[in-house]
Amino acid sequence: MDKNKQDLRIGFYICHCGHNIASMVDCPEVAKYVEKLPGVVLSRDYKYMCSDPGQELIAQDIREHKLNRIVVASCSPLLHEHTFRGATEKGGLNPFFFHMVNIREHNSWVHTDRAEATGKAKDLARAGIERVAHHRALEVKRVPVNPDVLVVGGGISGIHAALTLAKAGKKVYLVEREPSIGGHMAKFDKTFPTLDCAACILTPKMSEVGAHPNITLWTYSEVAKMDGYVGNFTVTVKRRPRYINEDLCTGCQECIASCVFKEPKFADEFNEALGKRKPVYISFPQATPQVVLIDPEVCLNFKKGILTDKCKKTCVEACGEKQAIEFTQTEKLEEIKVGTIIVATGFKTFEAERIPQYGYGRYPNVYTALEIERLVNASGPTSGEVIMRDGKQPQSIGIIHCVGSRDKKTNRWCSRVCCMYSMKLAHLLKEHTDAEVYNFYIDLRTPGKGYEEFYDKLLEEGVHFIRGRVGEVTDWAFTKEEEGKLVIRVEDTLAGYVRRIPVDMVVLSTGLEPQADAQDVRRLFNMSCGTEGFFLERHPKLAPVNTFTDGVFLAGCCQGPKDIPDCVAQAGAAAAEAMVLIDKGYVEQEPNTAFISEQECSGCKSCIPLCPYTAITYVEDRKVATINEALCKGCGTCVGACPSGSIVQNLFEDEEIFSEIEGVLAK
């Protein structure tokens, strides 16, 4: 530590940052002021310090003037501390002899009085000069990155990310909450704008996941805990009991056929409660893994979820030699170690009951879009026949856009995909029923490739597009033709009339929302959420798949509503970001770790339980505490708590902090 001011040779640079700083701070004046401070050898002001010539200037000055400390007063360290440390290193000086002073976000951008702002800049610069004298040479820490990856969520985004990484030779754990992977896409009938069958394009990828040797697929499982940091995460996964041994079950489904329940009786979740299933069931025919599961809430062998063993168990009999049914199965916790995590937990649809004016739940023939996907699907509860809850086939259908979206009372945002899927449903319903189809919209959003052309196609098919947000859906009839129908009252804003349109069936295009447990999940992975509740990306334009936690990435609708092409693109991007870390093999960490001065440690152990990274341990034979540098993240908690002041943190030592304070206060 070079405390002798005579030996100090400080180079000071104040950046104009174009107009950002110079408009409020008189940079040349500050430079002149700092030049006179003790220890300062040269003091410059420059238009753009972060530019190549600016950085080159620092390197050159170090060599020419034999500088041993650098202070740059400019923007936030978040942006350019790394840049200037690099320049310092290029000049041949240890990068940690560099200190950055923020006079933009902390000064020029928040004040309106030029004289005062310039004064403040001088104070801040002086503080930096005082502090940098106490800096020591430090080495950057390298932490190895575990090459395994955890992908949370098995929808199209999770599947694509997992496959990309697996094909690149990485070992992937894919954890999915539902009994099968596939997510929402598995429920769709056809996808826009190509009208590809969703299952046909998804199931090959699902099979690939199930078969890939590099992917460990854990369905019906959830992440319970995450510890650690980039490159070194320890994750606990909770595996719920299916009461079926996955390795032994062949997916023959004989157990379902022979169940004591002759007819399926319970609401089928996959078919949006439009169909029924038995206690032993498989979500859908192409489920991956091809393994059944038992619902303990309704299975007769259980009572309220607890095993009673009172049932005839015809399923076990049917299973025969395979013996895959295990009623005694319990919840299991698995602990895994990974280096990177990709969160792809998807979305949930807006609950249509929240808008009572549209009659969902009150009138049987009002459906949500997802229910229609199952209705028109050949493997759905009605085998693809559009038969309503009252048993009839509709001759007129109204599709209401923006249900729950673009509304201050419910969700402010546009859910991005509903216009397209509403048109798709219009096409499918017309194809299946030849009914009169009306789409009620506020704006038609068709931004993607082939989307506007899809709208043209729909117009040619004779679907009626009415621009007007529906006021209400009601069963009170004013004219004879309205008797027995659902009447949609809306202003046809383009034609200029308020209209009452009687239809047989109403479809609500519900919007996309964050999952119900998004807040819990974000805490689990140390992420943030935006105001709408979707997971927050590091930068909306330049870093859409990174989070503020290194090593944790986002993909798909959990980050915001989007269509399948964008989900797949994001999943690939997240996989690539993960591969950056894995292939590099290590991460460089700030050496801002804490260390304990053993002579001063009294062995009181106050610091040990405080460390969030469990980096501190007690050494019995020396009766002192010691910090594992590899685990320490430099949060500073132990430093503040230590009663004997024996813990010191690099880059934030007492002398450094106090001198900075004295520098600010001195006038």
Partner 1 sequence: MAELTRTIKYEADRVKGFGRELMSVPGCEDLQSCIQCGTCSGVCPLSIYMDYSPRQVMALTRSDFKNEVLRSHTIWLCASCYACTVECPRQIRITDIMYELKQRAIHEGIYVKNFPIPVLAKEFYTMSRKYGRITENILAAFMFLKTDWLAAIGMWKLGLGLFRRGRFSLWFHAIKRKDELNRMLATVDNLSIDELKDERKKASKAT
Partner 2 sequence: MKYSYFPGCSLKGTGRAYEESLLPVFQALGVELEELDDWNCCGATAYMAVDEVKACVMASRNLAIAEKAGHPELIAPCSACYLVLNKTKHYLQESPAVQKVIQAALKEGKLTYSGNVPVRHPLDVLVNNIGLAEIKKRVKHPLKGLKVAPYYGCQMVRPYATFDDQYNPTTMDRLLEALGCTMVNYPLKTRCCGGSLTGTLPEPGLLCSYILLKEAIKRGADVIATVCPLCQFNLDGYHDKIEAKWESVRIPTVFFSQLMGLAFGLSEKELGLHRGFIPMKPLLAPAVA
Query: Of 44-52, 295-303, 401-409, 501-509, which part binds partner 1 (CB under 8 A)?
Result: 401-409
Residue closer to partner 1, measured from CB, 409 or 449: 409
Q: 493 is written with which tokens?
A: 């804003």
Residue closer to partner 1, measured from CB, 498 or 641: 498
Q: Which of 436, 486, 435, 446 is nearest to 466 (CA)?
A: 436
Min dist CB 468 to partner 1, Å, is: 4
Q: Which of residues 457-496 bind partner 2 (CB under 8 A)?
A: 474-476, 478
Q: 643 is written with which tokens?
A: 């009663």
**114-132 and 654-665 are packed helices; what angle lies between their axes, rounded to 10 degrees?**
150
Q: Which of 6, 12, 65 is nearest to 39 (CA)?
A: 6
Among 90, 432, 469, 538, binds partner 1 (CB under 8 A): 469
Among 110, 140, 257, 498, binds partner 1 (CB under 8 A): 498
- Per CB under 8 A, does 490 bind partner 1? yes
Instruction: Identify the three-state secondary structure at position 205.
Output: helix
- Per CB under 8 A, does 354 bind partner 1? no
The secondary structure of residue 392, as a DSSP letter, is P
Q: Which of residues 353-392 bind partner 2 (CB under 8 A)?
A: 356-357
Min dist CB 362 to partner 2, Å, is: 9
Query: Of 58-66, 336-344, 483-491, 515-523, which part binds partner 1 (CB under 8 A)?
Result: 483-491
Residue 7's binding partner, choosing from partner 1, partner 2, none, with beta-carbon cut-off 5 to 8 A by kind?
A: none
Among 80, 406, 424, 522, binds partner 1 (CB under 8 A): 406
Residue closer to partner 1, measured from CB, 102 or 422: 422
Residue 378 burial (10 A CB sphere; 0-12, 13-18, 19+):
exposed
Question: Binding residues for partner 2, how many (CB under 8 A)?
Answer: 6
Min dist CB 480 to partner 2, Å, is: 13
**Is residue 425 within 8 Å of 369, Cβ to Cβ?**
yes
Residue closer to partner 1, measured from CB, 106 or 467: 467
Task: Please give the sequence-ordered ranges of beta strands (E in DSSP) within 190-327, or none if there are none.
Answer: 190-191, 196-197, 215-218, 221-229, 232-239, 266-267, 276-277, 280-281, 293-294, 302-303, 306-307
Distance, in Å, from the CA atom of 661 to the CA atom of 282, rounded to the nearest integer, reads 66
Q: Which of 663, 666, 667 is nearest to 125 (CA)?
A: 663
Min dist CB 435 to partner 2, Å, is: 24
Min dist CB 661 to partner 2, Å, is: 42
**Is residue 352 within 8 Å of 400, Cβ to Cβ?**
no
Question: Which is it for the CA torsion 512, 513, 515, 518, positive or negative?
Answer: positive
Residue closer to partner 2, measured from CB, 380 or 502: 502
Residue 474's binding partner, choosing from partner 2, partner 1, none, with beta-carbon cut-off 5 to 8 A by kind?
A: partner 2
Residue 498's binding partner, choosing from partner 2, partner 1, none, with beta-carbon cut-off 5 to 8 A by kind?
A: partner 1
Residue closer to partner 1, measured from CB, 9 or 499: 499
Among 227, 472, 475, 598, binds partner 1 (CB under 8 A): 472
Cα 619 to chain center, whole Å?
40
Min dist CB 648 to partner 2, Å, is: 54
Distance, in Å, from the CA atom of 153 to the CA atom of 177, rounded to the nearest integer, reads 7
Residue closer to partner 2, measured from CB, 476 or 620: 476
Question: Using DSSP, how many helices (H) and how many strands (E) does the chain show?
Answer: 15, 36
Residue closer to partner 2, measured from CB, 297 or 481: 481
Residue closer to partner 1, measured from CB, 96 or 413: 413
Instruction: Identify the three-state secondary structure at position 647.
Output: strand
Among 471, 603, 636, 645, binds partner 1 (CB under 8 A): 471
Residue 489's binding partner, choosing from partner 2, partner 1, none, with beta-carbon cut-off 5 to 8 A by kind?
A: partner 1
Among 105, 254, 269, 407, binds partner 1 (CB under 8 A): 407
* Residue type (1 letter), 150: L
Min dist CB 347 to partner 1, Å, is: 21
H helix runs in 496-553, sequence order:
518-524
CB within 8 Å of 640: residues ≥ 6 apart: none
Cα 555 to chain center, whole Å?
6
Distance, in Å, from the CA atom of 366 to the CA atom of 373, rounded to the nearest integer, reads 14
Min dist CB 475 to partner 1, Å, is: 16
Residue closer to partner 1, measured from CB, 133 or 402: 402
Among 254, 491, 598, 655, binds partner 1 (CB under 8 A): 491
Residue 653's binding partner, choosing from partner 1, partner 2, none, with beta-carbon cut-off 5 to 8 A by kind?
A: none
Q: Which of residues 328-357 bind partner 2 (CB under 8 A)?
A: 356-357
Residue 442's binding partner, choosing from partner 1, partner 2, none, with beta-carbon cut-off 5 to 8 A by kind?
A: partner 1
Min dist CB 371 to partner 1, Å, is: 24
Query: What Å distances lie between residue 257 and 119, 281, 294, 312, 379, CA to CA?
Result: 83, 10, 13, 14, 17
**Is residue 538 within 8 Å of 548, Cβ to Cβ?**
yes
Would you give the binding string for partner 1 spanning residues 433-452, x where CB under 8 A is met? ---------xx---------
H helix runs in 335-442, sequence order:
369-376, 418-433
Phi, psi dihedral angles at 138 (to 5 degrees):
-135, 160
356, HSE (Cβ side, Cα atoms, 13 Å):
0
Min dist CB 476 to partner 2, Å, is: 5
Min dist CB 597 to partner 1, Å, is: 54
Q: 242 is written with which tokens?
A: 């299916």
Q: 370 is written with which tokens?
A: 């997802």
Q: Which residues of 365-376 are buried (b: 16+ CB within 10 A; e: fewer)?
A: bbbbbbbbbbbb
Q: 366 is written with which tokens?
A: 């009002």
Query: What does the binding site for partner 1 look like in residue numbers (CB under 8 A)?
Result: 357, 406-409, 442-443, 467-472, 489-493, 496, 498
Query: What does the binding site for partner 2 look like in residue numbers (CB under 8 A)?
Result: 356-357, 474-476, 478
